[in-house]
Structure 1
Amino acid sequence: MGVSLAMSAPRVRRPIGPLLLPVLLILPIALVNLIAFILPVAQLVRISFLEGRGGMLTDNATIDNYLTFLTDGYFLRLIANSVLLGVIVTVATLLCAYPIAMFLHSASARWRNLLFVVTISPLLVSAVVRTYGWMVLLGDQGLINTGLLQLGVISAPIRLVNSTAGVVIGLVEVLMPYMALSLIAGFGRLDPSYQEAAASLGAGRLTRFLRVTLPLTAPGIALGSLLCFVLSISSFVTPKLLGGGRVFLLATEIYDQAVVQLEWPLAATISVVVLVLFGGTLILYTRVVRRFD
């Protein structure tokens, strides 16, 4: 009898330890990051310290690739051009997307979801397709130049394609949904009662915006600026198509060095420099966000 009771007694499962459970939950994404990010980046860093000969990699370790990059004025101008372009695109995108996010925040619940879908709908279209669309619109015979000529505003077509201006316009349109999403998240901290309280104290619209709306939405502005800056300086398709080979940036130079000139070590070096720029931008973003929390 005692034996049968012992055999039929249910087994008690031991609970997973408090340290083992987080490890099991983090393990899948850790493996994905290890395989898809950490190992490729480590291989990229390794290649940047190798010597290349005629499109072939050798086993000779060298720092000449970094010395070449840091001492050549052409590459230093690439960094300056890329950073300047990123700042211009980020500021322009913020100025264009902020009113949209503010309007979505103040819209009624009936229309908010529809307007939100319309705002992010460009993400459903490939950046290549949108860039080709801008090539048609910004061309010498495009809609913008044709309209300005017919209105008598200009006497000759403005070169908007194969120029920095065209790249800025294309990148601003491509990155606006990302900025809008970040700003909408930032507007979630904005309580209408704060503005009502400021208005009851005699604050005008401009004062309410500068003293209430802008500080509360600053984290969203910082997040959107981070995304737009990083995506703009690493963008390749839009600068390559709208720049027409006349706008030289870090991303386009990586392509030329790796695919056209077969200088894989130098291309890897430039890629590492871009990663360092990303890291510096992330550190700056973290410090900015801490000031608002």
Structure 2
Amino acid sequence: MSITETATIQGITPGKSRGGGDQERARKRHDSRIRWALLAPGILGLIVSFVFPLLFMARMSFNIGEPNGVVHETFTFETYMRSLSDPYYWKVTVDTFWMGLATGVLCVLVSYPIALFLARTESKWKGVLIALAIAPLLTSAVVRTFGWMVILGNQGLINTTLMEWGLIDTPIVLANNMTGVIIGLVEIFMPYAILAMMSGFGRINTQLEEAAGSLGASKTKVFTRITLPLSLPGVLTGFLLVFVLSISTFITPRLLGGGVVQVLATEIYDQTTGLLNWPFAAALSMILLVLFGVVIALYSAIVRKMGFSS
């Protein structure tokens, strides 16, 4: 008996089987073309608005800039060697990192209870409370920074109140330094941290907490043993978001720093608009980009090590 006869007896038609497979492959190719057609505008926009400028900036960083703004087309590491060998720019880079780290940690600490409350509350005003938590995003960061300049100044609300109450004799220096910058950044980026952590807290199974409580665990132990560990993915995401936004911000360090606080963003601005040294500004931008990459790589490693799913 031939293979064809055997297949026919078993109810399988070879021609139809191959035809069905061809139709399935054709359908998959059709679906793939549709997906790529839908993705094409976004990919094209990303290439034009991000990839090309990034490549241009990377190429510019290997040129040489003159004090009069003239750029010499070449390929040299001179700008990188200057930025990496000068103690001043090392200090600027380190200050930028510590500013982002302090802002991220403080922002997460302040935003954690708010995010946890908003994620767990069953109040009928939950939507209103969430809207109030993110309402500062509706106001420009420039306006909020000016507000903090008024509050933190020597004659500002904090110092005036403390002096009227007799708690201090001389104003506390809260503006024109890194302390004021961090205070302003924490308030400005709190909505981002709240939103990031709320999205992570929503995936916590509350039945685990209820089970621990029914077994006699105190509220403190339930929080430290269950709630906090399970909420760490949201916490890490919120910290990463705030850190990245902080080290790249320009307005708040410029205004609240009073020209005293120099970070990579302000230095890049000065090199670009003041000194017209575009190659050096591009080199500093690439260093900032590398700093981004290192932090994101550390974040990914921590997430994998702790066994969190992405």
Is the CA contact (8 Å cut-off) linking 1:222 and 1:285 kept in structure 2? yes
What is the aligned partner in structure 1 of residue 103 from structure 2? 89
Q: Does 1:268 align with 2:282?
A: yes
Q: Does 1:238 align with 2:273?
A: no
Q: Does 1:175 align with 2:189?
A: yes
Shift of 1:217: 1.1
Bigger radius of gyration among the two = 2
Match of 1:131 among 140, 145, 155: 145
What is the aligned partner in structure 1 of residue 178 from structure 2? 164
What is the aligned partner in structure 2 of residue 7 from structure 1? none
> Could you give the per-residue CA deviations for residues 157-190 of structure 1, whole angstroms, max 9, x where no partner exists?
1111101110010000000000000111111012
For structure 1, list consecutive stretches of 5 or more residues without a partner in the other structure.
1-13
Shift of 1:286: 2.0
What count of residue pairs does the alignment treat as equivalent? 280
Secondary structure of 2:261's aligned partner: coil
Residues in 1 aligned to 2:136 and 2:241: alpha-carbon distance in whole angstroms: 16
Structure 1 stretches (4+) deviating beyond 4 angstroms? none
Q: CA RMSD in A?
A: 1.3
Residues in 2 aligned to 1:233 and 1:127: alpha-carbon distance in whole angstroms: 15
Is the CA contact (8 Å cut-off) linking 1:222 and 1:288 kept in structure 2? no
Q: TM-score, normalised by structure 2?
A: 0.88
Q: Does 1:189 align with 2:203?
A: yes
Q: Does 1:52 align with 2:65?
A: yes
Q: TM-score, normalised by structure 1?
A: 0.92
Q: Does 1:17 align with 2:17?
A: no
What is the aligned partner in structure 2 of residue 251 from structure 1? 265
What is the aligned partner in structure 1 of residue 40 from structure 2? 27
The residue type paired with residue 211 of structure 2 is A
> Could you give the per-residue CA deviations for residues 238-293 of structure 1, whole angstroms, max 9, x where no partner exists?
00000000011111110111111111110000000111111112222222233222
Secondary structure of 2:30's aligned partner: coil
The residue type paired with residue 308 of structure 2 is F
For structure 2, list consecutive stretches of 5 or more residues without a partner in the other structure.
1-25
Residues in 2 aligned to 1:276 and 1:252: alpha-carbon distance in whole angstroms: 17
Is the CA contact (8 Å cut-off) linking 1:102 and 1:187 kept in structure 2? yes
Deviates more, 1:189-198 or 1:31-40: 189-198
Q: Does 1:140 align with 2:150?
A: no
What is the aligned partner in structure 1 of residue 219 from structure 2? 205
Residues in 1 aligned to 2:117 and 2:164: alpha-carbon distance in whole angstroms: 33
What is the aligned partner in structure 1 of residue 20 from structure 2? none
The residue type paired with residue 231 of structure 2 is T
Residues in 2 aligned to 1:35 and 1:60: alpha-carbon distance in whole angstroms: 24
Is the CA contact (8 Å cut-off) linking 1:89 and 1:229 kept in structure 2? yes
Residues in 2 aligned to 1:208 and 1:25: alpha-carbon distance in whole angstroms: 47
Shift of 1:111: 1.4
Shift of 1:109: 4.1
Percent identity between the two aligned chains: 45
Is the CA contact (8 Å cut-off) linking 1:138 and 1:144 kept in structure 2? yes
The residue type paired with residue 27 of structure 1 is A
What is the aligned partner in structure 1 of residue 84 from structure 2? 70
Residues in 1 aligned to 2:87 and 2:196: alpha-carbon distance in whole angstroms: 36
What is the aligned partner in structure 1 of residue 7 from structure 2? none
What is the aligned partner in structure 1 of residue 308 from structure 2? 292
